Amino acid sequence: MAVKKRPVAGPLATFFRLKNRARSSYFHYKRRLSFFVRTMQKAFTGSSAGFSRPTAAHAGVAAEELFQTELELFLASGATLAVKPCIAPAVSIVLVLHNRAELTYKCLTSLFTITTSYELIIVDNASTDATGRLLDALVGAKVVRNSENVHFLRAVNQAAELASGTYLLFLNNDARLLPGALDSAVDLIEADPAIGAVGAQVVRLDGTLQEAGSIIWKDGSCQGYGRDENPRNSEYMFQRDVDYCSGVFLLTSRALFLENGGFDPVFAPAYYEETDYCMRLRARGKRIVYNPGSVVLHVEFASSNSPAEALALQKKHREIFRARHAAALAGHCERGAMNILTASCAQRGAQRVLHIDDCVPHAYLGSGYPRSRDMLEALDALGFGVTFYPLLTLPETWDDVYSDIPRTIEVVAEGGFDRLETFLKTRAGYYTTMIVSRPHNMWIVKKILSRSPDVLAGAQLVYDAEAVFCLRDINKSAVQGKSLSRTEQAVVLEEELKPARDADCVVTVSAIEQRMFAEHGCTNVRILGHSVEPAMTPHAFSARRDFLFAGAFPTMDSPNTDSMVWFVEEILPRISARLNQPFKFIIAGHNSQKHLRGLQSQTVDVLGPVDDLTPLYNDCRVFIVPTRYAAGIPYKAHHAAAHGIPLVATGLIAAQLGWVHEQDLLVADSPEDFAEQCVRLYTDEALWNRLRTSAAERIQKECSRAAFIENVRAIIK
């Protein structure tokens, strides 16, 4: 939709009168506008100390006065609003009007940012204000002008019969789309044929939530979830299946809507029509999904009847609704504050899992976080309700948070260490499983449980070791010539493994570490490795050159940083002396430029973070893993092998992987031997092909996603 200018149709005096009126009222409207802008800024960025949030009614009054003036200026200007012609639209946007032209105008202008193809269908229910003039200035829309007010329900059904889009969007004329709202909803509904309808996050003009999906209680009454709360809070920022979403913004399949007979006229003129429709969809096995990526601003109650009339209609239609859906409602929650969290998700019988770790598990961080991400994805794929609680709060946008994990997972990004105990108390009895990753986090949870044991409330406690971290410290001490005695090693090992004995289940990454936990008194110890699927890069041996390492470099003394310094200083000169051809050693990974800048040379190329490693895997010939101290199993080795680039690694890495020298990879520990194995693999095509094939077979056998998901299922059981 676009605004187009045309010659002024009426007397010029009208235009100048309105223009002068706006100019004379400049300071009045400036104050109103400033108030409105401040309100929205505070709502979406957090209020400052002493700020008292104005009511939605006050914000609405301020905004509506502005909208009225904008409408009058637009109508006087002679401009038009043009809908871009579309032969086969993806969406038919349906607007039902009865007066409030100023709100309709703002609604129409909010359609400018839509990139999805759409047609606009407007049914005007005999408006008596400036709506007629506004529609006269609208070009390219399908407009139906009823001679009487047939109200919302019948008008929607009327419009649906005229629609040609694949989907119908029912949009209130007192709502405004924020950029991306419709596009996001269409992407979501197209991704899964089981989705019957998608609703939006509905925000009032004071910046508070009107609803983030809606609840239907056992008695048939309804409640918008999150009402009056901050829409940016974590519980409202993830997708979830809900009982229904209101008709303020409701996207559904046109075919599905017509097959179901549209909105049932028994609920005319209004109230419970979309609630009933969503329940009928769910009875057919369809999902109703709340999508936080679709945000609309709503002037609440702008189109309501008188309060008494509205309440009477709601009561009448609620009884009809209760009788019709009695069997389904029997499985809904009793109305009450204690049940709101459970009722907020339609999949009430699913397992609910709380996963606690350091931070949002972005793959680029390395250090076991790719595996944590894969675990979250597996839990989500199994249909569990998943909450992820990071103990470190980082300055990330919500798009950053969800860049690596499904949007269907709740991430308590604002939580942090200080709020964990309060969070656990608030949600005591809600989760069926609590997973705690890494030993330092297990100690934190243990202290909370010692003070407040009820926070676990019958849930099983799973300790995900990720790695036995003290093994890395023991190896590091040996590398630095400060080897610990066997007694000292036993003490640090016992200290790390001790909290695991309180867990109902312990999860390790390898058989070696599984035995360690079993030997220290843990009876239910399971192995969960990596989830990596073979994705062999196509280039043949002859089309490749260069050595590659890819990994994260969190600190100057991390295993990866140490291994790069050791390789460049001790091994690379030996390789250069033996190879009679030019080559480069490429280092890619998070923080590599920060910590390894000094290694940059004509031979060494420090790239920094690389979003997609596939081109490097396709072009490079040998992946090196010269790690001297570490724990767990190296994701980087599995990932490289899965992409068809064979490895040279230390004995430590080979032992962690359980892979065999000369069969799955080449192994060396001294600088001289490591250089020799690198040159062998770099120059021997037959050896290269044999190791590449064998490693890919190991990945297929040991790291398949299907097996990983089944292992996660067994852990939760």
Quick: pLDDT tens for 60-96: 677 788 889 999 999 999 999 999 889 999 999 999 9
User: What's the mean pLDDT in 412-430?
Assistant: 93
Residue closest to 47 by CA, chosen among 238, 177, 203, 232: 232
The b-or-e profile of 118-140 (16+ CB within 10 A means b, else e) is: bbbbbbbbebeebbeebbebbeb
Predicted local distance difference test score (pLDDT) of residue 594 = 78
- Prediction pTM value: 0.86
Using pLDDT thresholds of 50, 70 and 90, give the confidence band for residue 25: very low
Residue closest to 666 by CA, chosen among 653, 330, 656: 653
| Cis, peptide link before residue 395, omega less than 30° from 0 | no
- For the chain, give the longest Cα–Cα distance: 98
| Mean pLDDT score across all residues of the chain | 89
Residue 6 has pLDDT above 50, yes or no: no
- Which residue type, as a one-letter code, is found at position 480? Q
Predicted local distance difference test score (pLDDT) of residue 45 = 42
Torsion of CA 339, 343, 344, 349, to 10 degrees: 120
CA distance 143 to 129: 16
Condensed to tens digits (0 to 9), the pLDDT of residues 505-524 reads: 999 998 889 999 999 989 89
Using pLDDT thresholds of 50, 70 and 90, give the confidence band for residue 690: very high
The tokens for 528 are 């969960």
Using pLDDT thresholds of 50, 70 and 90, give the confidence band for residue 122: very high
Q: How far is CA 161 from the centre of its chain?
A: 36
In sequence order, what are the residues at sequence separation of 6 or more whose Cβ sits closer than 8 angstroms to the Cβ of residue 460?
432, 433, 434, 504, 505
Condensed to tens digits (0 to 9), the pLDDT of residues 438-490 reads: 999 999 999 999 999 999 988 999 999 988 888 888 888 888 888 888 898 88
User: What's the mean pLDDT in 153-182?
Assistant: 97
Strands 622-625 and 547-550: parallel
Condensed to tens digits (0 to 9), the pLDDT of residues 285-320 reads: 999 999 999 999 999 765 655 678 888 899 999 999
The b-or-e profile of 18-57 (16+ CB within 10 A means b, else e) is: beeebeeeeeebeebeebbeebbebbeeeeeeeeebbebe
Residue 131 has pLDDT above 90, yes or no: yes
CA distance 364 to 551: 8
Residue-by-residue DSSP string for 61-120 = HHHHHHHHHHHHHHHHHT-EEEPPP-SS-SEEEEEEESS-HHHHHHHHHGGGG--S-EEE
Runs of H (alpha helix) within 163-300: 181-191, 254-259, 273-283
Contact criterion met (CB below 8 Å) for 200 and 296: yes
Count of helix runs (H) and strand runs (E) in the chain? 28, 28
Predicted local distance difference test score (pLDDT) of residue 23 = 41
Strands 214-216 and 222-224: antiparallel
Predicted local distance difference test score (pLDDT) of residue 64 = 81
